[in-house]
Chains A and B, each alone.
Chain A
């Protein structure tokens, strides 16, 4: 029976008209951008001189190799999210890269040329402290990993453990660092906070303790070795104490006593309130570190120092200097220093930073251009011709890290390229004398929310549109206006032709269709839009949806790290000459305090409109369809006193609000108390609670509340049944789908619930409980249906369930829907299916008029985005096929939904960690624009009912025209023949 069903299904699937990608459409209207996230560790691959790789390990648990020439990915490995995939350390030796992952849980070695795994071993539990490569006689063969209570040494070749030793006296000593310089000993450095330093020396061969020093080295000022100490020169542990303003030095080989060197004796002075930081460099783990090191004395003040025979000597002072870095090539080591080029503070910069709270870090960066210079590490002398100019993006953040790739030129001098990482997660790779080779906007790896905004019309288009908008003022002037606009169109067309002709003569490589903000304009089908993306780091982007080019970027300083964002389009481009306007609500999740950022979505510029200050925590924000006299939609903000404020809040708006107040309802969700409450606006802009639903938080918690999308259109009011009667849909625009999960997670008792509530009256339309099921639940709520996906603990599989609501065979009030006047409860149909994969996110396609059939776009963990026709999720799918169901085109019920790779809209362009899918209608009814974002960004178009309103790409013009001509000539010939025949007959 099952086989039969399967066969049936296969038949059905084969015959069902589904959309898919054709091979020749690849890259035609879709693009993908791959990101890695904010870089935490980075190493240039130096084991081959000509290598083009830079390894990056990021805060989003990604390990990747980038091409230093183009900035593209060679390969990328995406680990689990969260702390279990967290990369603790990256060590590189030759063509192996060793990673410590998941707080010291795993040790992995990657082959960096292929991007394959060499080995992976599980380490004993214990929180990770530090790791280093251990060399012996110039050969690096081991890696040492220090945990809170134990140290283990592993072979680099296969990951096998050479030895593991428990650390002595772990109750009192906090071991923090491990160090080795190739003499066959491993030094473990620990500290008893505010008391003394403990040092344990292990033999590399067998893990035997050679020497143990405790109690004798007093260091009452020290509590964090890694933050304040480095090993310099011939094993000299050098620490800096900010309170005592002095160096402390300890010879690790002798371990006698810490010697104190006051910074004043070197004529050094620490900026007030700054914790000095040391930076040393160990080019080869089998050799000793350099005896030169940097001391950072202030936010823009560095000092190069040298340790010589136990004496510290100052070599060179760098002020102002933003960042410093060491780099080694061959036997030469250089120090790169990045300093601001000019200290002139442009006026706009100040203006921009004024509204934000004045924080020290944001004020420190007001320099627009910086320069990087190389200095010889041994002498501190500046190397000639090594200046590199870095032009900082005025809309970006300040530089944070500097990575330098040094190489030897043919004349044995040192050349270099620099990779600069800025606060806004941007990586810029720069070559001398300042040519930017590539830029990666890694902030885009963490897109939180986005909107698509129509592009503005061009001047000529606006002219034409304007003609229809104006009032008629006489026949003659209308004719003149029409003629003039036609003339303008003709002119534009000739100009276009001329450009085509001109471009055709040029070689193809020179013709560049560079899209800039200036030449942006809407295309005839409105397929090209501006994607406004908001990232977690607080950087906003404007991306051209056609090419994926970043047209503008704007970094918002002082965005709290755990902020929630809500982006709203207040005014579209349709209201020329008023500029389009977007408003971003940034809310601190802890305090609930919000700020508004108002900007122009086409140019990214901050608007002149000053948003209201929000002194109270914000509970809810809602966009009303009301507009002020400047066509900006009204945004209502509800604060924790249940007071409502409007933005913009002109007299006109307030008057409109007063008139409309009786019909403005909103709801609030308090998931911690399980409270769902509905409010009504009063004319004095206060609120009044009209309903409340309590879901006991001890039993179940509210995980999501989904309304319908406001820009959704439903074309047909009902469905025609097999017997020609009509089943009317229950199209309640105020319906909310509330999903709850049980707090009891035991697999026998856990359940999920779904509640359909009318947002105006609080009436519960429907309630469903799925027993033996747990989240995460993904919900899509649209038209008259709700689709949700959950994990069935009983059968250990993912299941889809669909709820459809119908009014019945008669419509109560077909002209307008009112929640307050709907006496009949809707009919509810539900059906469930098995889905053979877990899912990451789900969204439904959206088209302009809602005529096109709907598809569900499902982001899978494998990176595919499945376009599943909604007709597979239809609770009216019959178990037994009847004449009527066939008439209605219903697919017979089959328990399992299939995943066909032909339905992947992104073919092999996988999107890692899909977080959201954004759908937007285009000017064509058949076409829906789709953007999937997560670690990657993928943009494409889908045609859920195929392209019924435009000629297809493969339209055979040749065939049609040849047939037409053939028919034409055939008619002519046959006519002639008929004439001859008639004539003959006449003669007969």
Chain B
């Protein structure tokens, strides 16, 4: 399995002209599982370059840092985006370029006691899995960080196109209730319930009366219409008389 994977990998590495990779041809069980940090051993250097496509390096390097295994070792970026973290003993480390603006993927770098380096994808679940990355590191930003959630915007088109997009918003829920339910009642109810049935009719009337508890009290809407019609003066009155006339004729 490992053998099969290794051949194309090496080809890629050959193309990348990375000589270091040759040193790892022997089958390794884990990523330096036997490699422990030696306090007095040699110190090595992790090198690489960070790239933000389309952005000049001087605009972002001053806010960037290279963190090796948390803050255990710290490196800074040169004005051309390259970096080197000095004085790192052998071991296996997660190397991360951090800036407040751009997102870089972390890379795991293994250093043997002899100072051989290799880089691979970080996989915290299968820690021994090896998917090679170029070394010296080439870390390309995968875009700016997205820190903000989008405000739910609301438009009529939104509502018409897919009203059920997120009904979780109470506001929309209310609107749906207000607009769709009466429509259903008006359109569907008469069809479903046989209105010609006199018993049914009686029942409905009763329930309607229930809704209007005191018929003696002047209705607000009535009051308002009177007010508006009153202010409009005679023309309004004329129109209203016009409205009643056809009814009279019909009789």
Tell whether, in the assembled complex, residue B79 and residue A117 are in contact, meaning their CB atoms are under 8 Å apart: yes
A607 proximal to B (CB < 8 A): no
Point out the residues of chain B lying under 8 angstroms from A838, CB to CB: 69-71
B151 proximal to A (CB < 8 A): yes
Tell whether, in the assembled complex, residue B36 and residue A116 are in contact, meaning their CB atoms are under 8 Å apart: no
Residue of A23, A118, A954, A972 with highest tally of chain B CB at under 10 A: A972
Contacts of B17-74 to chain A: CB distance below 8 A: 36, 43, 45, 57-58, 61-63, 65, 67, 69-71, 73-74
Q: What per-residue 1/0 map shows which CB atoms of B148-180 lie under 8 Å from chain A?
A: 111110100000000000000001000100100
Tell whether, in the assembled complex, residue A117 and residue B221 are in contact, meaning their CB atoms are under 8 Å apart: no
Contacts of A836-874 to chain B: CB distance below 8 A: 836-838, 840, 861-863
B76 proximal to A (CB < 8 A): yes
B206 proximal to A (CB < 8 A): no
Q: What per-residue 1/0 map shows which CB atoms of A951-988 lie under 8 Å from chain B?
A: 00010100110010001000110011000100110011
B251 proximal to A (CB < 8 A): yes
Q: Closest CB-CB distance, B34 to chain A, in whole Å?
A: 11
B84 proximal to A (CB < 8 A): yes
Tell whether, in the assembled complex, residue B124 and residue A834 are in contact, meaning their CB atoms are under 8 Å apart: yes
B6 proximal to A (CB < 8 A): no
Query: Complex formed: what's the CA distance from A895 to B124 in Å?
Result: 9
On whether A988 and B71 interact (CB within 8 A), knowing A116-B77, A959-B171, A980-B243, the answer reads no
Q: Closest CB-CB distance, B111 to chain A, in whole Å?
A: 13
Query: Complex formed: what's the CA distance from A904 to B146 in Å?
Result: 10
| Chain B residue at minimal CB-CB distance from A837 | B70
Q: What per-residue 1/0 map shows which CB atoms of B123-167 lie under 8 Å from chain A?
A: 011110000000000000000011111111010000000000000
Task: Assign chain A's interface to a size class.
Answer: 35 or more
Tell whether, in the assembled complex, residue A80 and residue B71 are in contact, meaning their CB atoms are under 8 Å apart: yes
B100 proximal to A (CB < 8 A): yes
Q: Closest CB-CB distance, A894 to chain B, in whole Å?
A: 10
On whether A20 and B148 interact (CB within 8 A), knowing A863-B98, A976-B225, A984-B247, the answer reads yes
Contacts of A796-816 to chain B: CB distance below 8 A: 796-797
Point out the residues of chain A lying under 8 angstroms from B150, CB to CB: 22
Query: Complex formed: what's the CA distance from A118 to B78 in Å?
Result: 6
A50 proximal to B (CB < 8 A): no
Tell whether, in the assembled complex, residue B67 and residue A975 are in contact, meaning their CB atoms are under 8 Å apart: no
Tell whether, in the assembled complex, residue B96 and residue A116 are in contact, meaning their CB atoms are under 8 Å apart: no
Choose from B96, B100, B125 the contact partner of A895 (Cβ within 8 Å): B125
Query: Complex formed: what's the CA distance from A106 to B243 in Å?
Result: 97
Choose from B69, B92, B125, B225 the contact partner of A975 (Cβ within 8 Å): B225
Query: Complex formed: what's the CA distance from A837 to B98 in Å?
Result: 12
A484 proximal to B (CB < 8 A): no
Tell whether, in the assembled complex, residue B73 and residue A80 are in contact, meaning their CB atoms are under 8 Å apart: yes
B248 proximal to A (CB < 8 A): yes
On whether A908 and B247 interact (CB within 8 A), knowing A80-B73, A120-B76, A975-B221, the answer reads no
Choose from B83, B126, B147, B251 the contact partner of A987 (Cβ within 8 Å): B251
| Chain B residue at minimal CB-CB distance from A954 | B151
Tell whether, in the assembled complex, residue A975 and residue B127 are in contact, meaning their CB atoms are under 8 Å apart: no
Point out the residues of chain A lying under 8 angstroms from B250, CB to CB: 984, 987-988
Tell whether, in the assembled complex, residue B148 and residue A796 are in contact, meaning their CB atoms are under 8 Å apart: no
Tell whether, in the assembled complex, residue B71 and residue A861 are in contact, meaning their CB atoms are under 8 Å apart: yes
Tell whether, in the assembled complex, residue A902 and residue B171 are in contact, meaning their CB atoms are under 8 Å apart: no
Point out the residues of chain A lying under 8 angstroms from B103, CB to CB: 901
Query: Complex formed: what's the CA distance from A111 to B76 in Å?
Result: 12
Q: Closest CB-CB distance, A124 to chain B, in whole Å?
A: 12
Query: Complex formed: what's the CA distance from A988 to B71 in Å?
Result: 90
On whether A114 and B62 interact (CB within 8 A), knowing A901-B146, A956-B171, A987-B251, the answer reads yes
Tell whether, in the assembled complex, residue B100 and residue A972 are in contact, meaning their CB atoms are under 8 Å apart: no
B219 proximal to A (CB < 8 A): yes
A16 proximal to B (CB < 8 A): no
Contacts of B69-104 to chain A: CB distance below 8 A: 69-71, 73-74, 76-79, 83-84, 86-87, 92, 96, 98, 100-101, 103
Q: Which of A71-79, A320-328, A729-737 contacts B (4 or more CB under 8 A)?
A: A71-79
Tell whether, in the assembled complex, residue A114 and residue B58 are in contact, meaning their CB atoms are under 8 Å apart: yes
Tell whether, in the assembled complex, residue A975 and residue B219 are in contact, meaning their CB atoms are under 8 Å apart: yes
Choose from A20, A836, A840, A908 the contact partner of B124 (Cβ within 8 Å): A836
| Chain B residue at minimal CB-CB distance from A894 | B125
Tell whether, in the assembled complex, residue A114 and residue B79 are in contact, meaning their CB atoms are under 8 Å apart: yes
B3 proximal to A (CB < 8 A): no
B244 proximal to A (CB < 8 A): yes
Q: Closest CB-CB distance, A748 to chain B, in whole Å?
A: 9
| Chain A residue at minimal CB-CB distance from B96 | A862
Tell whether, in the assembled complex, residue B62 and residue A75 are in contact, meaning their CB atoms are under 8 Å apart: yes
Query: Complex formed: what's the CA distance from A700 to B147 in Å?
Result: 42
Tell whether, in the assembled complex, residue A85 and residue B74 are in contact, meaning their CB atoms are under 8 Å apart: yes
Q: Closest CB-CB distance, A891 to chain B, in whole Å?
A: 17
B224 proximal to A (CB < 8 A): yes
B222 proximal to A (CB < 8 A): yes
On whether A972 and B243 interact (CB within 8 A), knowing A20-B149, A106-B86, A902-B146, the answer reads no
| Chain B residue at minimal CB-CB distance from A102 | B87
Choose from B73, B79, B247, B248 the contact partner of A116 (Cβ within 8 Å): B79
Point out the residues of chain B lying under 8 angstroms from A108, CB to CB: 76
Query: Complex formed: what's the CA distance from A24 to B147 in Å?
Result: 12
Q: Closest CB-CB distance, B86 to chain A, in whole Å?
A: 5
| Chain A residue at minimal CB-CB distance from B63 | A75
Q: Closest CB-CB distance, B231 to chain A, in whole Å?
A: 15
| Chain A residue at minimal CB-CB distance from B32 | A796
Q: Closest CB-CB distance, B62 to chain A, in whole Å?
A: 3
Q: Closest CB-CB distance, B143 to chain A, in whole Å?
A: 11
Point out the residues of chain A lying under 8 angstroms from B70, CB to CB: 837-838, 861
Choose from A78, A111, A975, A988 the contact partner of B222 (Cβ within 8 Å): A975
Query: Complex formed: what's the CA distance from A904 to B225 in Å?
Result: 55
A13 proximal to B (CB < 8 A): no
Q: What per-residue 1/0 map shows which CB atoms of A688-727 lie under 8 Å from chain B?
A: 0000000000000000000000000000000000000000
On whether A80 and B74 interact (CB within 8 A), knowing A747-B36, A907-B148, A972-B221, the answer reads yes
Query: Complex formed: what's the CA distance from A959 to B224 in Å?
Result: 23
A48 proximal to B (CB < 8 A): no
A283 proximal to B (CB < 8 A): no
On whether A114 and B61 interact (CB within 8 A), knowing A119-B78, A972-B221, the answer reads yes
Point out the residues of chain B lying under 8 angstroms from A983, CB to CB: 244, 247
On whether A959 and B146 interact (CB within 8 A), knowing A862-B98, A972-B225, the answer reads no
Query: Complex formed: what's the CA distance from A987 to B248 in Å?
Result: 7
| Chain B residue at minimal CB-CB distance from A979 | B222
Point out the residues of chain B lying under 8 angstroms from A963, CB to CB: 175, 178
| Chain A residue at minimal CB-CB distance from B81 | A116
Point out the residues of chain A lying under 8 angstroms from B152, CB to CB: 954
Point out the residues of chain A lying under 8 angstroms from B151, CB to CB: 22-24, 954
Q: What per-residue 1/0 map shows which CB atoms of A473-516 lie under 8 Å from chain B?
A: 00000000000000000000000000000000000000000000
Choose from A795, A896, A902 the contact partner of B147 (Cβ within 8 Å): A902
Query: Complex formed: what's the CA distance from A836 to B67 in Å?
Result: 14
Point out the residues of chain A lying under 8 angstroms from B178, CB to CB: 963, 967
| Chain B residue at minimal CB-CB distance from A19 | B149
A396 proximal to B (CB < 8 A): no
A105 proximal to B (CB < 8 A): yes
A122 proximal to B (CB < 8 A): yes
Tell whether, in the assembled complex, residue B125 and residue A834 are in contact, meaning their CB atoms are under 8 Å apart: yes
Q: What per-residue 1/0 map shows which CB atoms of B197-224 lie under 8 Å from chain A?
A: 0000000000000000000000101101
A21 proximal to B (CB < 8 A): yes
Residues of A within 8 A of B (CB): 2, 20-24, 74-75, 77-81, 84-85, 105-106, 108, 111, 114-120, 122, 747, 795-797, 834, 836-838, 840, 861-863, 895-896, 901-902, 904, 907-910, 913, 954, 956, 959-960, 963, 967, 971-972, 975-976, 980, 983-984, 987-988
User: What are 14 A-B interface contacts by the 8 Å CB criterion?
Assistant: A21-B148, A22-B151, A24-B151, A75-B62, A77-B62, A117-B76, A119-B78, A861-B98, A862-B98, A895-B125, A896-B125, A901-B146, A959-B154, A972-B221
* Further pairs besides A79-B74, A114-B58, A115-B61: 6, Cβ < 8 Å: A117-B78, A836-B122, A901-B146, A902-B149, A963-B178, A976-B225
User: What are the 3 tightest A-B residue pairs by CB atom distance, in nearest-first order?
Assistant: A115-B62, A838-B70, A116-B79
